[in-house]
Amino acid sequence: AQKITQTQPGMFVQEKEAVTLDCTYDTSDPSYGLFWYKQPSSGEMIFLIYQGSYDQQNATEGRYSLNFQKARKSANLVISASQLGDSAMYFCAMSTDRGSTLGRLYFGRGTQLTVWP
């Protein structure tokens, strides 16, 4: 079974500081992808970053980087130089190589990030 675990229900960080949001996963599939999404109060899920299980380097997208530790089955999101607009719910998600499944993601329960001035 596929499982995503986010152990931090809430995190607080001061503006301009870096913050790490934790994510661990469990799957028996050798090929999988890991995602992070941001969900502001409006409800839309905004794609942030992707890491493939065979990617050699950690993914980076602007202020976002994914700290991928395959042996530990962890895929932590690092946000550098936090901004007030980063306050939102953050979800870690996984897709696995299951044949015809194109758009099925398994989501964690999320971490509510609050950035304070």
Partner 1 sequence: KAGVTQTPRYLIKTRGQQVTLSCSPISGHRSVSWYQQTPGQGLQFLFEYFSETQRNKGNFPGRFSGRQFSNSRSEMNVSTLELGDSALYLCASSLAGTSGRLSTGELFFGEGSRLTVL
Chain residues in the site for partner 1 (CB under 8 A) = 31, 33, 35, 37, 42-47, 49-50, 52, 91, 93, 95-110
Q: Judged by CB, which is closer to partner 1: 46, or 84?
A: 46
Residue 107 is encoded by which pair of tokens? 């989501």
CB of 86 to partner 1, least distance (A): 18
CB of 15 to partner 1, least distance (A): 26
CB of 16 to partner 1, least distance (A): 27
Helix-strand-coil percent breakdown of the chain, rounded to 5?
A: 5, 50, 45
Distances (CA, A) of 105 to 2, 10, 20, 44: 10, 22, 22, 16
Q: Judged by CB, which is closer to partner 1: 13, or 53?
A: 53
